Amino acid sequence: MEFLTHDILIIGGGLAGLRAAIEAQKAGRDVAILSKVHPLRSHSVAAQGGINSAFDNIPVPTNDSWENHSFDTIKGSDYLADQDAVEVMCREGIERVIEMEHWGTLFSRTEDGRIAQRPFGGSGFPRTCYAADRTSHNLLHVLYEQVVGLRIPVYEEWHALSLVVDEGQCIGVLAFPLFEERTVPIRAEATILATGGYGRIYLRSTNAIINTGKGCYLAYQVGVPLEDMEFVQFHPTSLFGTNILITEGARGEGGYLVNVKGERYMERHAPHLMELGPRDIVARATQREIDEGRGFEGQYVHLDLRHLGRGKIMDHLPGIRQIAMDFAGIDPILNPIPIQPAQHYSMGGIPTNVDGETPLPGLYAAGECACVSVHGANRLGGNSLLETLVFGARAGRKAASNVKRKKRESNPLAFQKQSEAFQSCLHELSSRQEGEPCFRLRDELKTLMTDQVGIFRRESDLLSAKEKIRELKERFGRIGLKQKNLDFNNEWIQYLELEGMLHVAEVITEGALTRKESRGSHFRTDYPDRDDEHWLRHTLAYKTTEGARLEYKEVTITNYPPKERTY
Ligand SMILES: Cc1cc2nc3c(=O)[nH]c(=O)nc-3n(C[C@H](O)[C@H](O)[C@H](O)COP(=O)(O)OP(=O)(O)OC[C@H]3O[C@@H](n4cnc5c(N)ncnc54)[C@H](O)[C@@H]3O)c2cc1C
């Protein structure tokens, strides 16, 4: 059996993966990146609004500090974040953002030339650094330049099919180059998952089509638990019709949310912060307006930017204007933008410590697929880009220091077994004469998740969602594929992704059903209050043949005791 071999293999070419690769390569290790799309097509490239860092760079300084940033993040998380991890992110984040600036990120500037910062939801200070409304387009290109400069190899359009584990250690992956007729075993002393979110298990999502949660499933499949998966972020402002994101930066610049009666309804829900309340609160308020008949055509509300004026919109929100014109035929300089909430981000994921280590030796995770946990029950806007850089770098550094100079001989049999399992799965699939098409199940799953495991949740919906997912898992076993050859077989890829999507959806639903309280993004209409006595704890979901088995673990509290959360 022929192998590819690296010290460290990073799965994912978004911000977290690239930042990890740079750190590990600089530590002198042989590093490679594997990504199912070109790194610059990762979802990171779509991030618009900005990245948080407590620089206090605004014209009138406010004495912002990383401690203030930590407090806002912890309060925003509804006290579920691990406070030691939040402190690491907010403290080290300052250095990471300056580093990005030195590497060449074209941040927007203040009059006197410093990095400009805009207000973002749930923050007491304007601390979101931005590059107009294309922040991570800039960040990702800058990191990719570094990767090219360091000559780090990238396996582009390669899929990670499964992790290979031997004697309790992750020893590499089985991969599939989309354009070939074979699977390829890759040996690695350390494997870092940086595979992003799972937004596309929802019908309405701001996420890229590739965000299917496969990375979480890769870990779950080999016995690593998934943490806090019931906490799914819904963004209040996605463009009605396509659900393309309209950045929180639009409200940061002063945009209003208005219902059909012309009311700025956030007055009722977050009277102090108004439109800049945290996302969970603004998303619920918006959905409520729509559900209670104060939306337009029963489906959306307005985001009004007209009072900002042409100059500000053209300077600070050019991408948003273009999106509104191209996808809704509306120029925000002249008309309000129709918006509705949509799935946006995954707070949960693969549990790691602050160095990216997962419970499985040899396996690391960073970025959106990981749960450190710095976002707890609700993430503040601008903190996710920061997380990718801080914990991407830390995971790369830790993996590099853990890789031993003298290599362990990894067992070829473990790879062989996986490879044979895939061949027989493929053979079985190809020999099926007929069967349901993959997309039908996928679409049923997405609709189910948006309708029954969405912004507002209740027991009867969650129970029926659980039943339905079981049924979909059964039908999954009877899917038929039309395309028989392996190269460019997107149907097969979709089939494999769907398997992961079903399991991830099951974990979310089980966690949501069991958590009988409301906290952050998880809102139970039948248990509308936060219950610290019973539920100030993280959920861990383990894969079993019967579905997800749940366990719980303590939340780390340092300096910020839980309080009532008002804005
Ligand atoms: C529209 C939008 C706007 C956003 N705006 C902001 C913002 O302004 N500020 C902020 O802080 N956050 C924002 N976020 C969130 C933030 O962008 C993401 O959380 C972050 O970029 C995720 O980075 P990542 O490196 O973890 O993953 P991603 O950038 O999603 O990259 C995942 C990588 O994994 C690869 N991959 C996945 N599965 C496999 C597999 N099986 N085999 C091989 N490769 C695989 C993909 O090819 C890809 O390269 C936004 C998100 C969206 C959707």
Res. 429: pLDDT tops 90: no
Res. 40: pLDDT tops 80: yes
Average per-residue pLDDT for the chain: 95
DSSP symbol at 46? G
The upper half-sphere exposure of residue 242, i.e. CA atoms within 13 Å in the direction of its Cβ, equals 14
Ligand 1, residue 370: give the atom nearest the CA: 26
| Residue 134 three-state SS | coil
Res. 405: pLDDT tops 70: no
Q: What percent of the chain has pLDDT over 90?
A: 90
Ligand 1, residue 52: give the atom nearest the CA: 11
| pLDDT tens digits, 473-522 | 999 999 998 888 888 988 999 999 999 999 999 999 999 999 999 999 99
Q: 211 CA distance to ligand 1 centroid (A)?
A: 8
Burial class (CB in 10 A: 0-12, 13-18, 19+), 566: exposed
| pLDDT tens digits, 246-256 | 999 999 999 99
Residue 547's DSSP bridge partners are 544
Contact of 247 with 303, CB cutoff 8 Å:
no
Band (282; pLDDT cuts 50, 70, 90)? very high
Burial class (CB in 10 A: 0-12, 13-18, 19+), 307: exposed
Candidates 407, 367, 426, 413; CA nearest to 391 is 367
Q: Where are the beta strands (DSSP E) in 211-331?
A: 226-227, 232-239, 256-258, 301-304
Q: What percent of the chain has pLDDT over 70?
A: 99
Candidates 159, 12, 39; CA nearest to 499 is 159
Region 262-291: mean pLDDT is 95
Instruction: Name the catalytic one among 19, 118, 251, 515.
Output: 251
Q: Is the dihedral of CA 113, 114, 115, 121 positive or negative?
A: negative
- What's the CA gap between 126 and 58, in Å, rounded? 7
User: Which residues are CB-neighbours of 538 under 8 A, at least 6 positions away?
Assistant: 80, 227, 228, 351, 373, 552, 553, 554, 555
Ligand 1, residue 387: give the atom nearest the CA: 11
- What's the CA gap between 247 and 41, in Å, rounded? 19
Alpha-carbon distances, residue 408 vs 189, 404, 458 (angstroms): 8, 8, 50
The vertex-280 CA angle with 444 and 262, nearest 5°, equals: 95
Band (185; pLDDT cuts 50, 70, 90)? very high
| pLDDT tens digits, 370-384 | 999 999 999 999 999
| pLDDT tens digits, 288-314 | 999 999 999 999 999 999 999 999 999
- What's the CA gap between 387 and 441, in Å, rounded? 33
H helix or E strand, kind and range, residue 516: none
- What's the CA gap between 480 and 348, in Å, rounded? 32
- What's the CA gap between 451 and 503, in Å, rounded? 18
Contact of 218 with 527, CB cutoff 8 Å:
no
Q: 42 CA distance to ligand 1 centroid (A)?
A: 6
| pLDDT tens digits, 96-106 | 999 999 999 99
Given this model, what pLDDT does residue 211 score?
98
Given this model, what pLDDT does residue 410 score?
72
Strand order in the sheet with 301-304: 232-239, 337-346, 301-304, 256-258
| pLDDT tens digits, 432-459 | 878 999 999 999 999 999 999 999 999 9
Query: Where would I find the H helices in 150-202?
Result: none
Model's pTM, two decimal places? Answer: 0.97
Of the residues 129, 133, 136, which should be mutated to test ligand 1's pocket, given the most ligand atoms within 8 Å of the CB? 136
Q: Which two tokens stand for residue 100?
A: 């990005």
Given this model, what pLDDT does residue 124 score?
84
Q: Which two tokens stand for residue 366?
A: 């960073």
Contact of 260 with 294, CB cutoff 8 Å:
yes
Burial class (CB in 10 A: 0-12, 13-18, 19+), 477: exposed
Phi, psi of 15 (to 5 degrees): -60, -45
Candidates 485, 501, 469; CA nearest to 429 is 485
- What's the CA gap between 261 and 344, in Å, rounded? 27
385 lines ligand 1 (CB under 6 A): yes
245 lines ligand 1 (CB under 6 A): yes
| Residue 81 three-state SS | coil
Given this model, what pLDDT does residue 406 score?
61
396 lines ligand 1 (CB under 6 A): no
135-149 vs 83-103: helix crossing angle, rounded to 10: 70
Band (59; pLDDT cuts 50, 70, 90)? low
Region 260-270: mean pLDDT is 96
Contact of 161 with 174, CB cutoff 8 Å:
yes
